[in-house]
Structure 1
Amino acid sequence: MSPTINLNRKSLALLIAIVCSGSAQGEEYYFDPALLQGATYGQNIARFNEQQTPSGDYLADVYVNGTLVASSTNIRFNAVKEGQQAEPCLPLSVMKAAQIKSLPATDAATECRPLREWVPHAGWQFDSATLRLLLTIPMTELTHKPRGYISPSEWDSGALALFLRHNTNWTRTENTDSHYRYQYLWSGLNMGVNLGLWQVRHQSNLRYANSNQSRSAWRYNSVRTWVQRPVASINSILSLGDSYTDSSLFGSLSFNGAKLVTDERMRPQGKRGYAPEVRGVAASSAHVVVKQLGKVIYETNVPPGPFYIDDLYNTRYQGDLEVEVIEASGKTSRFTVPYSSVPDSVRPGNWHYSLAFGRVRQYYDIENRFFEGTFQHGVNNTITLNLGSRIAQRYQAWLAGGVWATGMGAFGLNATWSNARAEHNDRQQGWRAELSYSKTFTTGTNLVLAAYRYSTNGFRDLQDVLGVRREAKTGIDYYSDTLHQRNRLSATVSQPLGRLGTLNLSASTADYYNNQSRITQLQMGYSNQWRNISYGVNIARQRTTWDYDRFYHGVNEPLDVSSRQKYTETTMSFNVSIPLDWGENRTSVAMNYNQSSQSRSSTVSMTGSSGENSDLSWSVYGGYERYRNSNSDSSAPTTFGGNLQQNTRFGALRANYDQGDNYRQEGLGASGTLVLHPGGLTAGPYTSDTFALIHADGAQGAIVQNGQGAVVDRFGYAILPSLSPYRVNNVTLDTRKMRSDAELTGGSQQIVPYAGAIARVNFATISGKAVLISVKMPDGGIPPMGADVFNGEGTNIGMVGQSGQIYARIAHPSGSLLVRWGTGANQRCRVAYQLDLHTKEPFLYLNKICEKE
């Protein structure tokens, strides 16, 4: 048996690279033993003439299907039988790093086994020149992490904080003919508090109105209050209080109660939305390319055997997938995966559910408790299943349906049966069927969307039933565009024309039982771009037939067909936008023309922004509008105005002015956020539901990138107004305007927040005057480069650079620095200094002697 040899990287690379440049399974070579004379001559040197790896321990990098999973790992190679190739004995830790789906039971964590015992159909190759162990393992044997996967353990629930967001606008309007003056103040308020994963929210508004003909009045309106909590273990969010049902199967209801629904945002990016799975077989190690409309959207390397790709990004409405499998020999095979979807399509393996119960809002005068449950599941590329139920007092609705995706397109069908006591307390039963279709044609990349809904006369939606019951009890008239609706059809066609632009066509129609009304709409749009100039034209026509008497009588009253009215309107619009960028000022001019049967108008506007982060934005406009009256007279009042917005560290400030022939209006506005936290009160821009509270002590003046004007205040805090939940967010500070007596030890941090979290992002800073000291020893020498430098408190504040230079920040006007490059008494010295900390110079330059201690 060959003797075991222990080799490190340097000795092995020197020896093996000389005698067998190549891998254990590389080209044939011959090594002449006579080249090595000495004590070891003749001792099994001839083994280097064979394509074998000598037995022994190797410090190797381990790759699985081309991906590094373990670096600098000790791998033992054992010869199975005398004269046979030595093979790697792999420890359990490497197999876990490789994410093997099912591992054989083993008692010892350090036990190693040949690869074939861990995974029967796997293979290996060892590159002795680079010390790389290449493992080839079928994808079906691996635990797959989809693209964009982030472990829930890394999600940040955020800090304890209370916030108030406001969007406030004040306007003053004056009619110059009647001298009527009117003032109006409106402030939209959103407030909340975060306690770990529990998030309390309240939405409201404050209004004030005053005129010279009426008394002033203040009014506070509470819109809704709720508590929410993400539940990571089931990819869901729990809401208690005022909320809305989320299901697209039944439609949205505003209610007060409890709701538990799937939160799609918790899924990895490669599992959100709908995309089909790609499955195939590779004859060898292959490169797989996935294209859509000729564009590459995904590439990967796969081992021999079956492979699957289940984490494609959602690119619906872009056409079927073209898959190329390029084998190691260069042979290429191709196949197509149909890709069509409708709004109800669910990715294979995913499920969506929603549970809600409570009381329907605005209907508290009657019995309004209800329950709703829906479930959707993507069975495979072809089938999605839908189930649902909505139940209330004397009302039941049951839904079943799904999506069938084929090469001819995706077909969606949902059927709902309802049973209710509605008008005049009569029992109403009926069906509603909804059919949808979507297909992107590869011939011309034509996008078609269509949806059709048919309801029998007895079908009732829950909100319509509650509205009818409330009208019967209280006399409050109820109006609905879904009650008694029979047919509804809509279709949209979008056709890219290459350099000629894009053409869009859409049509919709809806009619009602007993000929109550019919609404038909047609629209055509064309848009294009020439160089940087964009332009478009839109033409729309709407024809409406409706029961005029219905607007003055409730739905429980008998229908008078003699009150039917008809109205037809045709509108046309044309727009063009021309950019006029002057240096850092981003400016554009736009022209719009609109015409209808009642009027025509034309407007010319100019918009722009300035500043490095476009913190200042403005616009001015002028135009006219000509109206047609019954006497065929016409008038063309002119209008002009403008607005200005400045983003500041405290939020956005706005001002506007508008004037016409008989009126003028001026307005002011502001928006922003206040956050109360353990460190104090911080003001910043208007935030989204998920945002960050930044703390960088001493970094006053640092600008928050993408912060809409946010700047670190004198207490070291700032607000980043928006974060993407469950995704990696880079938080960066720009230090160019930061105070000169401090610096950041790192300019960027990463955070993965929960939805609704106020993420706390801390930046470490160093305070003190920036000093560059040129140090010499008493004998004229310099301390070694890389020697550590400590301040008087024993804190490491830097190291010695080239030519004995020390860069450090020093907070005290006098003292000494310890320079140390070893543990011996003669391997240290001390630099005494005296500084003027009040100088405005950003840097101080000193020449000092480092005295031996």
Structure 2
Amino acid sequence: MRFQVDATRYSQGNPIDPGTYRLDIYLNNRWIGRQEMRFALPNALSRTALPCIDLTLLDYLGIKSDNVSEQTLRALQGEGICAPLTEIIGTGEAVYDGGQQRIDFNVPQASLKRRARGSVDPKYWDNGITAATLKYDYTGYHSASHGSAGETYHYLSLLGGFNWQEWRLRYRSSLNHSGDNGTRYQKIATYVERAIPPLNSKLTVGESTTDGQVFDSVSYRGVALTSDDRMYADSLRGYAPVVRGVAKSNARVTINQMGRTIYETTVPPGPFAIDDLYPTGQGGDLYVTITEADGTESSFTVSYATIAELLRPGMTRYTLMAGQFRDNSMHDKPAIALGTLRHGFSNIITGYSGLTAAEGYYAAAMGLAFNTPVGALATDITQAHTRLPGKGAEQGQSIRLTYAKTVPQTNTNLTLASYHYSTRGYYSPAEAMRARDYLKYGNNAGAFYDDSAVLDDGTANYSYLRGMQHRRNRAQITITQGLPEGYGSFYASANTQNYWGTQKRDTDFQLGYNNQYKSVSYNISANRMRNTSSGNWDNQITLSFSVPLSSASSSPRLSTSYTQKRHTHSLQTGLSGSAGENNQYNYGAYVSSERADNSGRNNTLSLNATWLSPYATVGGSYTKSSDYDQYGASLSGGIVAYHDGVVLSPELGETIAVVEARNAAGARVTNYTGVHLNGSGRAVVPYLNPYRMNEVEIDPKGLSTDTELKSTSQNTAPTAGSVALMVFETTSGYSVLLDGKQTNGKPLPFGAALEEEDGNAVGYVAQGGQALIRVTHHKGQLRATWGEGPGESCRFRYQLPQTAAPEKGDYRRLEVICK
């Protein structure tokens, strides 16, 4: 038997009731923000509400208003127009998704204002909520040689924070304790920071360090205003050249790099410029192809090599700092000011300069960076003038040369080749401040110096400053070379430096080869490194293998390595892996044997494990060797306190979010490993990218059927250091699988609407008179409606069984007769 069901409500798509909804807004499948939107019926005959568009929303979406009529513009300036998008701007569509609580605007590129890829308008950045945070890391261990009492050591690192509107207060400190040295508390840094969006900069007041772009990094106590590269769109960060060309028609432009297509777009006839390429590591020349409307092609190559000094054409970065030089080992706290400026003049040239002024010291730097067909090159010179107590004034220069190049044809990546030369009278800002402090106060200046730094008459002997050797030359190079498929790759790096007034030279290097045969990975490497115990340099050769024990992605791995160095060789074998539904358990077990020429063999067993619990990260370790025993423990995590409570987290980054979903305890945040909502329906998302779109998604799988998430995904674009609050609305009630019949024994009609006595809709009837509904009360009355005529509705009373909430994934069942 067929029922006469009134389906006109669905004739215009999924019905939307008039009202205001807080929605995620997408433009051409790209999230741009979250805000409230009003929906209204376009006319009295319509059954479906449409989004109301006004000028503010058009600006929010970046839609051009050039082709909008004056009459439409006047209407848009008021409450807006509630009509299809095509009637307003002549093109596009708006699609509402009630399940995801989002609305998609699909608009042709020609109707949009040009924006850099990956950008989020600063007026939609989220400063977060007022909150206090604490990140802690504790390590403790006990070590004892056989026959001795041993020693216990404890270390606790703390990073506290308080957020209020745009301001971020941070306090970093540490506490360590040992049996020999007692307890020591150290304040490391305290500062306040906030973003300055109009300048794409950040303001820092307190104790911090400079970025080290033009001068070596300086630790200071004062105030600094610096460019914040994170505020720029991904396509404007780092360096990438502007690609310019001319199209004869509506053409397609494709840009390839090392055989991969990295950009594709369409351009109108005439000159074009593509200035929003994403930076790609060390670069690699760009191969540009223009495909005209008739299919003809033309191509050209744009040189692309990059180093840290290069900026995109027209981009500027700066640093301004004033305060005191900060070094806890020094007696004085000299005043210091620093300024740097970098600007990209073209695809080829970036210029940079800087000034530093302090008590008894000033320095000026100037340099140029080039993007050339043979690689990226930067060269600069710094002139420094230092007044040293008792020694007079000294002047000197430092010259620096940096080079980088990627050669796709040979798969060679010369990531960095750098050379520094300093004359005898040159001092960096930190070297100058420490030297002046020592020469003024002698041994009372701090722990940087030893007794030989003072002559017999008690005066300072600068030539014996320990830890401040006057560097003369430094050179370093790093190269990676890929081999044909199946033959692996090798890498090499080397660093060497010498000093004025001594024949001493420090040289270290690394050489290595990596490859994989089926599932077996192997590596051979050679290193030269300093032995911190003896102070000697050791050459070390290591051969290692690693193989999974099964094909499963979480399979444990068995690893073996053999190492040989001066007078010593060792063999280590270990097993490591992870376990748990979210890989929250990590473990490792290692056995090693070391033989030294003068002390025999030493065998060692090492065990370690960590647990990423819902509230903290807990770890433990145990080592037993022929000479000693050691065991340790670690505990780390974070605490977030805000107006609605306190939430614990196993991890805590700089920029975070607090997720709230009432009655959704146990639900998993899918894109963050190990994050689950606690018993109160809250969790901390420990890492977010500042000034970027971040999607946070909750997996409803496993939730009680008595709770429904109105949306499972939200997006936020937080400012750096903020605590974003993301509230997921939920619907709670009694879930029921209803089997409804009419008084004549026939099932309730398909599509019939079910609502409670107060008009609250609870669901619709499916096939066979069944309906999956969620009611507010344990007992009451429901009405079924399948039309507006007589006999096209009925009512029934219900009372749910007096049982506990159903198991996850199950429902209460109820059979009713609708009268």
Q: TM-score range by the shorter chain?
A: 0.7 to 0.9
- Equivalent residue, structure 2, for 1:262: 227
Identity %: 33
> Which shifted more, 334-343 or 417-426?
417-426
Residue pair 1:404, 1:411 contacting (<8 A) in 2 also: yes
- Equivalent residue, structure 1, for 2:213: 248
User: Deviation of residue 746 (structure 1)?
Assistant: 2.1
Q: Name the SS for the 1:252 alignment partner.
A: coil
TM-score, normalization by structure 1: 0.78
Match of residue 502, structure 1, among 489, 499, 505:
489
Match of residue 843, structure 1, among 806, 811, 817:
811
Change in 2 beyond 3 A, CA 1:285/1:135: farther
The reply to whether residue 460 of structure 1 matches residue 427 of structure 2 is yes
> Which shifted more, 92-101 or 521-530?
92-101
Q: In 1, Cα distance between the equivalents of 2:107 and 2:387? A: 70
The reply to whether residue 581 of structure 1 matches residue 575 of structure 2 is no
- Equivalent residue, structure 1, for 2:640: 675
User: Deviation of residue 110 (structure 1)?
Assistant: 4.7
Residue pair 2:525, 2:543 contacting (<8 A) in 1 also: yes
The reply to whether residue 622 of structure 1 matches residue 591 of structure 2 is yes
| CA distances 1:297-323 after superposition (whole Å, capped 9, x unpaired) | 111222222222111111132410111
Change in 2 beyond 3 A, CA 1:334/1:712: same
Q: In 2, Cα distance between the equivalents of 1:815 and 1:807? A: 17
> Which shifted more, 369-378 or 523-532?
523-532
> After superposition, where does 1:764-843 map in structure 2 within 5 Å?
764-779=729-744, 785-820=750-785, 828-836=793-801, 838-839=803-804, 841=806, 842-843=810-811
Instruction: State the one-letter code of the partner of 2:356.
Output: R
Q: In 2, Cα distance between the equivalents of 1:110 and 1:158? A: 34
Q: Name the SS for the 1:471 alignment partner.
A: helix
Instruction: State the one-letter code of the partner of 2:359.
Output: Q
User: Deviation of residue 340 (structure 1)?
Assistant: 0.7
Change in 2 beyond 3 A, CA 1:205/1:447: same
User: Deviation of residue 144 (structure 1)?
Assistant: 2.4
- Equivalent residue, structure 2, for 1:392: 358
| CA distances 1:331-355 after superposition (whole Å, capped 9, x unpaired) | 1111000001112111222211111
Structure 1 unaligned regions, length at least 5 = 1-62, 65-90, 113-124, 128-132, 545-564
> After superposition, where does 1:546-695 map in structure 2 within 5 Å?
569-581=538-550, 583=552, 585-628=554-597, 633-695=598-660
User: Deviation of residue 407 (structure 1)?
Assistant: 0.8
> After superposition, where does 1:64-213 map in structure 2 within 5 Å?
110=73, 143-177=113-147, 179-210=148-179
Structure 2 unaligned regions, length at least 5 = 1-26, 29-53, 76-89, 93-105, 450-464
Q: In 1, Cα distance between the equivalents of 2:184 and 2:272? A: 63
Residue pair 1:274, 1:316 contacting (<8 A) in 2 also: no
| CA distances 1:693-725 after superposition (whole Å, capped 9, x unpaired) | 111100111122244433212222111111111
Residue pair 1:519, 1:542 contacting (<8 A) in 2 also: no
Change in 2 beyond 3 A, CA 1:684/1:540: closer
Q: In 2, Cα distance between the equivalents of 1:734 and 1:354? A: 44
Instruction: State the one-letter code of the partner of 1:509.
Output: T
| CA distances 1:148-177 after superposition (whole Å, capped 9, x unpaired) | 121223221112211211111221222213
Residue pair 2:478, 2:493 contacting (<8 A) in 1 also: yes
Match of residue 662, structure 2, among 693, 697, 721:
697
| CA distances 1:173-203 after superposition (whole Å, capped 9, x unpaired) | 22213x2222222221111111111111111
- Equivalent residue, structure 2, for 1:488: 474
Instruction: State the one-letter code of the partner of 1:577.
Output: S
Change in 2 beyond 3 A, CA 1:828/1:200: farther
Residue pair 2:283, 2:306 contacting (<8 A) in 1 also: no
Instruction: State the one-letter code of the partner of 1:144.
Output: R
Residue pair 1:520, 1:543 contacting (<8 A) in 2 also: no
Residue pair 2:319, 2:340 contacting (<8 A) in 1 also: yes
Q: In 2, Cα distance between the equivalents of 1:768 and 1:195? A: 37
User: Deviation of residue 481 (structure 1)?
Assistant: 6.5
> After superposition, where does 1:270-309 map in structure 2 within 5 Å?
270-309=235-274
User: Deviation of residue 542 (structure 1)?
Assistant: 6.3
| CA distances 1:560-609 after superposition (whole Å, capped 9, x unpaired) | xxxxx996532211222112236574211111222211422221111011
Change in 2 beyond 3 A, CA 1:794/1:742: same
Greater relative contact order: 1 or 2 (C-alpha under 8 angstroms, separation 6 or more)?
2
Match of residue 402, structure 2, among 436, 446, 451:
436
User: Deviation of residue 837 (structure 1)?
Assistant: 5.1
| CA distances 1:29-48 after superposition (whole Å, capped 9, x unpaired) | xxxxxxxxxxxxxxxxxxxx
> Which shifted more, 821-830 or 354-363?
821-830
> After superposition, where does 1:353-372 map in structure 2 within 5 Å?
353-362=318-327, 365-372=331-338
User: Deviation of residue 396 (structure 1)?
Assistant: 0.9
Q: Name the SS for the 2:319 alignment partner.
A: strand
Instruction: State the one-letter code of the partner of 2:374.
Output: M
Q: Name the SS for the 2:427 alignment partner.
A: coil
Q: Name the SS for the 1:472 alignment partner.
A: helix
User: Deviation of residue 792 (structure 1)?
Assistant: 4.3
Instruction: State the one-letter code of the partner of 2:243.
Output: V
Q: In 1, Cα distance between the equivalents of 2:538 and 2:801? A: 79
Residue pair 2:58, 2:64 contacting (<8 A) in 1 also: no
Match of residue 376, structure 1, among 325, 330, 342:
342
Change in 2 beyond 3 A, CA 1:286/1:482: farther
Q: Name the SS for the 2:501 alignment partner.
A: helix
Residue pair 1:319, 1:445 contacting (<8 A) in 2 also: no
Residue pair 1:365, 1:470 contacting (<8 A) in 2 also: yes
Q: In 1, Cα distance between the equivalents of 2:355 and 2:65? A: 40
Q: In 1, Cα distance between the equivalents of 2:682 and 2:530? A: 57
The reply to whether residue 531 of structure 1 matches residue 518 of structure 2 is yes
Q: Name the SS for the 1:463 alignment partner.
A: helix
Q: In 2, Cα distance between the equivalents of 1:263 and 1:378? A: 16
Q: Tell me how large the CA RMSD over aligned residues is.
A: 3.2
Q: In 1, Cα distance between the equivalents of 2:358 and 2:315? A: 29
- Equivalent residue, structure 1, for 2:44: none
User: Deviation of residue 824 (structure 1)?
Assistant: 6.9
- Equivalent residue, structure 2, for 1:714: 679
Q: In 1, Cα distance between the equivalents of 2:563 and 2:138? A: 31
| CA distances 1:531-551 after superposition (whole Å, capped 9, x unpaired) | 22221111134699xxxxxxx
Instruction: State the one-letter code of the partner of 1:385.
Output: G
User: Deviation of residue 108 (structure 1)?
Assistant: 6.1
Residue pair 2:216, 2:428 contacting (<8 A) in 1 also: no
> Which shifted more, 482-491 or 318-327?
482-491
Residue pair 1:461, 1:483 contacting (<8 A) in 2 also: no
| CA distances 1:193-221 after superposition (whole Å, capped 9, x unpaired) | 111111111111222323xxx5x843332
Q: In 2, Cα distance between the equivalents of 1:166 and 1:347? A: 39
Instruction: State the one-letter code of the partner of 1:830.
Output: R
Change in 2 beyond 3 A, CA 1:223/1:160: same
User: Deviation of residue 142 (structure 1)?
Assistant: 8.0
Instruction: State the one-letter code of the partner of 1:419.
Output: H
User: Deviation of residue 376 (structure 1)?
Assistant: 0.8
User: Deviation of residue 616 (structure 1)?
Assistant: 0.9
Q: In 1, Cα distance between the equivalents of 2:539 and 2:144? A: 33
Change in 2 beyond 3 A, CA 1:358/1:786: farther
User: Deviation of residue 434 (structure 1)?
Assistant: 0.8
Q: In 2, Cα distance between the equivalents of 1:799 and 1:104? A: 44
> Which shifted more, 711-720 or 384-393?
711-720
Q: In 2, Cα distance between the equivalents of 1:350 and 1:597? A: 51
Match of residue 312, structure 1, among 255, 274, 277:
277
- Equivalent residue, structure 2, for 1:41: none
